[in-house]
Structures are given as C-alpha cells and as structure tokens.
Amino acid sequence: MFGFLRRNKKNDDSASASPSSDNKTLRDSIKKSRRSFTDGLADVLLGSKTIDDDVLEELETRLITADVGMDITQTIINDLSKRVSRKELNDGDTLMQCLCEDMIEMLKPAEQALQTETRQPFVILVVGINGAGKTTTIGKLAKRFQNEGKSVMLAAGDTFRAAAVEQLKTWGERNDVPVIAQGTGADSASVIFDAVQSAQSKGIDIVIADTAGRLHTQDNLMEELIKIRRVMGKLDDTAPHEVMLVMDAGFGQNGLIQAEQFHQAMNVTGLTVTKLDGTAKGGIMLAISQKLGLPIRYIGVGEAIDDLREFNAEEFVYALLDHEPD
C-alpha cells in the first residue's frame, strides 16, 4: 500500500519525543479536510504500478475538486509530467513525495510569522465577513501574546452587533485583558481611536481591534474601514501595523473574491485562515497563497483557545496529504 495511506508505526515514546509530534496533532485536527484530499488520491493511486497520463489526468481532477484552482493545478501537473518523462516518478510513493514538494514550494513564501516588536503599541486591525471567526481569533491571539509575555488590549470595533461586543468582553474577562467598548451603534473609528490612545498612555504592547463583519459588496462599509485607518493615523501615522484578514477556509474559491476586495480597500498585510478542522477543502490554502501573495500568519484548527497555530508550510502539507517525508 502506498506510503501516504500508511499510519506511522513509531512507538508512543519515540512519537512523543519526535519533532513531528505537533505535526501529528495537526493531522488529527484537519482530518476532515484531509479526507477530501487523500481519499480521492487513494482512488487514483491504488493498484497503479506505473504513473501514466491516466493517473495524472485523474490527479488533476482531484486537485481541482479540492479547491486548489485550475491554474495552480496545471502548474503542479506540468511539473509532475516532466518528472515522469525524466523517469523520476515510478510509483505512488514517489508521486506523493513530489506532490508534497511542489505544494510546499508554493506555500513556503506565505510562511511569515507576525513580528509585533516593531512598534508600541503594535496595532492589529482584524477584518473579515460575518461568520469567518474574527472575534474568536482575536481572543486566541490575545492568549498567544500573553503567553509570550506581552500586554494586550482589545477594541470592540464591531459596534453593529451587541453580541459581538459582549463576545469580545467575554474573551477579555477570560484572558484578563482590558476591552475598550462603547454602546451598540457607536462610531467604530472612535472606539478604536480610544483604545489606541489608552494603550499609548498605559504602555500596552499590542492592541487588537475588532471590526464589523461586513460583506465585500457593501462599498459603504468598506469606506468605514478606510475611515478607521484614517482616524487611527491621527495617533500613529504608521497604524495599523497589521491588517489581518480572517478567512473561513470553507468558503473555498468564493473566499478569494472577498479577500481581494478587502485587500483592495485596506491593503491587507496578513491572513488567518480558520475552520480547517471542518469540511473545508484544504487545497484552498494553495489558491490563497498563490492568488493573494500575502503572508498566512495563523491557521485555526479547532475551538480550543490553543487551536490557533502559526502557519508552517511543510507541516501543513504533510498533514494534509497524510504523508511522511522521505
């Protein structure tokens, strides 16, 4: 049976000591995403003693249906075809390893950790549509930064929904983090301005500002984001220092359209891709990386507060394809 279908048979002691133990946890977390990928690949490769045009054609179909996208799929298939012609691919194992290598190469440029030490306070403006997981991501980020020894303040800039303000306050209480908020319907830019001003006076390291979950088709709401940026600049003309777009991986190719609109309006500087623990097709990560050309700061792989992970291209690809590197 091909290597990508084999379970790792290392004993428990060696697995716990291995650098790949975190990777195995990631494999567990994204098993639903992986299923849509590897089940199809198993159908392609099982019983194929050689890699021929039929195998590559079926693999091409599987990649497209996994949300990789037409252009990126074609690039991968062209590379694999060249390797076949050079007789570098002899069986399913070598095909899977080369597929992993191609995907890692495409995703590696997106592997850029967020550096928050450049300014104080370092201001992160979190944007994205309703349901993508913005507020939850903010709570998890606050916890991560606290674990790194940094002080954090939250700004409840989603003033359109009372529930959003209350949710952020709950995260603040859970993490013992101050939350700057006003009433429902208050001016979002004013709330965030107050938060940055307060953080400056108190020596807070990081401000994370929530914003309303606005649809990318609503130009007036995009204009409000631009206003937030302009008002913030009155206190610090370099702020925000990170415009983080939170994307739901389950939106697939449609999510790219939203992301492009946000990027056009706000000059997005980093991405957090959420809900990869669900039924999202993991191939969308390749499309995100190649189409947007933006850093993927974090991936969300569960509901727990520690289920926000820094993005690592190699770790992610091997987990998604359930393959052990050669």
What does the chain come to in residues?
326
What is the tens place of the pLDDT at every residue in 7-47? 333 333 333 333 344 544 888 888 777 776 666 666 666 65
Burial of 282 (0-12, 13-18, 19+ CB in 10 A): buried
Q: Where are the beta strands (DSSP E) in 196-281?
A: 206-209, 242-248, 270-274
Is it true that 3-110 and 122-310 share their CATH fold?
A: no
Phi, psi of 44 (to 5 degrees): -70, -45
Question: Residue 51 in contact with residue 73, Cβ under 8 Å?
Answer: no
Q: Is the pLDDT of residue 218 over 80?
A: no
Share of the chain above pLDDT 70, in %: 86
Q: Pick from 73-82, 156-165, 315-324 the range whose average pLDDT is largest.
A: 73-82
Q: Helix and strand tally (H, E) in the chain?
A: 13, 8
- Angle, CA of 125, 214 and 70, to the nearest 5°: 90
- Average per-residue pLDDT for the chain: 84
The Cα 228–Cα 241 span in angstroms is 13
Q: Pick from 28-42, 45-59, 166-180, 210-224 the range whose average pLDDT is largest.
A: 166-180
What tokens were used for 110?
Answer: 């997106």
What tokens were used for 115?
Answer: 């550096």
What tokens were used for 128?
Answer: 């994205």
The Cα 245–Cα 266 span in angstroms is 10
124 in helix, strand or coil?
strand
In this prediction, residue 129 has a pLDDT band, given cuts at 50, 70 and 90, of confident
Which of left, alpha, beta for 294 (phi over 0: left; psi -120 to 50: alpha)? Answer: beta
What tokens were used for 49?
Answer: 């003693």
Fold of 122-310: Rossmann fold (3.40.50)
What tokens were used for 155?
Answer: 């700004």
Beta bridge pairs of residue 154: 179, 208
Chain-centroid distance, C-alpha 203: 30
For residue 230, what are the contacts with CB-CB under 8 A and spacing of at least 6?
189
At 309 the pLDDT is: 93
Fold of 3-110: Four Helix Bundle (Hemerythrin (Met), subunit A) (1.20.120)
In this prediction, residue 5 has a pLDDT band, given cuts at 50, 70 and 90, of very low
168 in helix, strand or coil?
helix
Task: Report domain extents, the chain.
Answer: 3-110, 122-310
How large is the angle between the packed helices 284-292 and 253-266, nearest 10 degrees? 30
325 versus 143: the higher-pLDDT residue is 143
What is the tens place of the pLDDT at every residue in 64-91? 888 888 999 999 999 999 998 888 887 8
- Angle, CA of 36, 39 and 44, to the nearest 5°: 120
The sign of the dihedral angle between the CA atoms of 40, 46, 47, 51 is positive
Chain-centroid distance, C-alpha 304: 16
For residue 22, what are the contacts with CB-CB under 8 A and spacing of at least 6?
315
For residue 179, what are the contacts with CB-CB under 8 A and spacing of at least 6?
153, 154, 155, 156, 168, 169, 171, 172
The whole-model pTM stands at 0.86
